[in-house]
Structure 1
């Protein structure tokens, strides 16, 4: 073959992957190629089946073998620069149209698979892990024969040679090149911007840096009061930092909200402990070797050990500009996302189409569909997007669409209920909606946006327009209000259902018609409802509209009043920032107006857990024992159990109990299994006086009646016992003082044993500590009731403080994720002890976030209910009932 100047070679190798499953690009699975020219080489090329087409890769990647066989993969090679949401979505759209047409290589700057950047905020807040926000797992790449080169960004494009070169020096040839580089954070050019501790908020690296800083505590300053800035502030607040937000403009999120909505948002965030400075201009960032604070132009100094810059983003165009492509605000593209070079395309936040740059998911997904159409010889092109913004800012819902700036010919229709945190403003011109702003209640955002896009005449429903779709239908038809299914059925096919993933109604319907017969199937197929979950109700209603009775049943619902499960309801309460039981029932379309004895206690608990310090406990939604703060007995009297910290008592407490027994003629006093004294036979009307007498001796409620922390049982430990290894009694007292008063999904018991002999029975408690010579064994998930279950070993720690921290984190995880009336034993059996370990033991930052949230909640919970009742609260509950008058006496009157 050398005489002809052409030689073939073939080589094999194995893929090298990192712990994220990403190919490192240093070894090919199978390569084939040829060399042309004389002995000096001339041109050396090789390509890889399933992998990349490379130019001048050299012997480090593949060794020559004289097999003289050409590659059997002669498809066009598509190289994608950018492993983010837009780049991978474009590949998904391409695969859906013609999966065999292109051989695909994807370069990513980050050392990860593709993840949902929108969900970085929940990761920072400790609500999700990185695994939870992965969009395309490593299996997706391998299953679709896609080579991923992660952590090696492309640094140069050679348009003449049709190659790209990466940071590591790797050079890859292409037939078609897709640039999906996204956007870069804007760093304001002030002195000190390069100090250690000054970061942006754009990717997982930034989140990791914030988590590390939050673990040390201290002050944080967030520069920028837009969405990213407020999300960063929210997450850092939940992580325990004291946060100040500095915003240049007079109102927050001025691009998405009008002044009134911005004011409500500011007030709500300040109520959560953040300091919000609007109209504030940053002059410099100062510090000696690391950031120490921010100085404003008015002279104020704001201390900070962490500064997060979140003042905006700019299209990432440097690579395209250096390659000589046409660039203005973004990379200029036509309707099929083709740049000024016909073999180079671009998509996402980095592009400019018809003078517009987009940063929202929905238009980016439309671009991806148009790009895939163009690459597969279809003719539909992108014509631009009318956009709406539906966001959740620190758990608060906001929505805006169109032009809400007002102006000549515009009329405002406004509903404002500041006490409930609700604001709605619809801007109408010539009987058409031209803009809308919603705060607090965004349920009808999709409907307003649909009317806006279709330029629908709203004159016939104007009087009821501000109250939403259901009420507007009532006025238009003269009949009843639209039920939720009819309301979603009335939306147009291009109405947005899922804002996180840019999924329209028509796409969800098509997904269902192709066989997705359950909520989970829809989430897996078209990703609607797969992120924040706020659109779950809409998707479920679409399932019912399309399938009727053929909808596949999912997990057991919370009760007969709703089709939602416990997990769905908890997610929706957080996602939609619901703040009362009636609001939950209204927004989730309860079938009974007042609920039932099953759902009302559950909703009361879920709201109490989600909104510590904000939600007012609904006593009427509690079981009788919790409502009365005592255990009702079969004769109608009550038993009272005062708290005894760690099973310890004193002469004063014992005398007080003896005095109560004699004063109120209690027929029995009994030592409980939790090392306390139970006083039986107390009449309802005597309960406040009994509590007042016990309070006078320094005793508080033992919550023996509640779905709450009951007791912390201890043995005497090293202080007295010859076998004791640690001070188990002292530890038990400290645990109980930390955890008392906490409401839980079910009753919760703790024990601390001083040695492995386990006299306090720690291994059948919800949380148990077994002291050993070298520290403390922590056990979880035990149960000593009807179905006895021994605990699982969570971990072993060296110090008492670590035991306290793990205890607080475990309780908060249980409080946030278990279903109401689910003990820790069945909960752990359901989720798996490995999951609990991953959240509590392996994720140090996540553990600290859980601990912080628990202690924050406890700051509102440790208020003795007995003292409140003794002072006269809810006194009507303790009034004796008058005996009924005989019927004859009534007749005589």
Structure 2
């Protein structure tokens, strides 16, 4: 049959999806259609997913061409390149190109792909702002690349990171701005994202997360990028890589059904039975795809239907992702945002930078994230696609296909036993597995302490302790008895609080993912017990560098109110030292009336509690209180709660000192300081102790000759009287002792440990030695406390001043969730 007699198929789009469909159709029947392909680019079909290696200089354009001009000619396919179709006449069954060329069709295939999203920023039209979708974009980037010149990539997704790596290889100084908390958040969980950021930073690429871009600056060309937080980054090139959207304009103008993408059925047919659509431009069962594997699956189905074959149609795709950056092994497939019905299996090898996480649901693998060792990615992906029951493989699944094939059984210790003898176990002391196992066998070692003494493994930082214990268990079998010691923080880790605090500083760990990877956490993202603790320990260790993680706070701390049993909230504004004023009382009364708050109560800490506030009203309630100069009393926080006072010498005939004034000064100096647990203070104006200072965490009892300072009191379920640590003569000494005591408590206590059990654990003499006897250490503790008070901690929405100022000057403390 001549080409004039065959039905006419027009393909709009010369990309990978359209031409793959043509290839599949030719395999079915090379004579089925007279085929014409319109392409917007003046080029043949090339592999777009290999643009990153072209940018990096690892490949040339010629090496990524999939179908050269000769292929089109050999297969009788007419290619009209560089002349895109601009309109479709469905009634006449014709298409018209930009140059005015009109062609008729019997079947039409839309493969129009997607368009890059351009953020509507001021300066987005300046020369030097590019996207990363085709070879023209690559050529613009290469033209801008200069040795050491600065470039900014907006978007830390797959394309953005590939663009950044390519530009860095071309000699540019690259910064990546990403709005989310970690890069590639759609493909990677927090732990894998952290490892990737660390690797890219080692390659000289600056990663700035939670970065909200404000504008692109320049006079006639790109010169800088301004962030909304006030930072400015110099740049001669800005790459927009924030995402894509289906290119549906042509289909919409033609009257086809369009939602997010061109709506198609299981056979890729549009709302017009003579028109098909595939690739990034389509929406199938509510889903749009931006990866190549689903496009090729669509192409097979669509080609079969065009050739007249049946089949079950396209059922949707399970997708997998790999980052195309040489030397970085990343694999992601399925879902990793598991719910409570799912189970996580996590493996971490900190020394080799390996992280693996599998997500199971009802004995089926539904998600996998691999970093550093992706060799089993295809196997996991196949298990996912086939929805295979993995229950028989459960105990060794994380170790990969090799273990499954070898029948490793149900003992996970075999994974450790299977490590090669040269595998390094203790990085600090360079001790390999073979040396440890030999020592265990030859010297009859049976305990961790003996292994430390003979091999030095686990004797330095201690992060390899768990691995050494597994080697002991694997080597000795039933003869091994694990040593008892401090309890682990939680089921996510083998480490106790003290070890974690020590290693955070010793290893310079400055983020929750960094801690979890280095200390080989046994869960992907921790739990409700360890995340708040790690958040606190990092805040305390690195106040200048660590950013508070709101996800690691309980609901009370996130909304600055205490949740009640009926689901409403309790709001407690701060009253400094128990003092208030007519203005503050009016503000409270107005809020009670305005928001119909049912209960108002005076608390035991000399404040007023507003009970029954609806969650949706919290931001507005706080806004009204803030406008009157009132801030949160932190009645929900692991922080300073109250400073209770009596009226003291100003009014009381027994008062010896200005207890109220001192209480106010103590509260204003220490409020907002993040601590292991709640912290209460009191100042009594005389030994009659009306403010109950002797059952507070830090208490001051005023006497004729000065001030007696007591610590470690607790008036809760387990009553504990505070103990005297010293007597001082001046208010300045009280302030210094108080700050030093708080900082010592902050740095030494475990998370959720009150001062009473902390002092019982470390001993009162230890506290006295640190803050009373050792003047130099007391001054250092006080200095660290004052430094931490200049940084936003307990109130992530408040921009704390860089100097200690009156607390009433601080910004509102509550933001809507």
Could you state the TM-score of these two structures normalised by the residue count of structure 2? Answer: 0.49
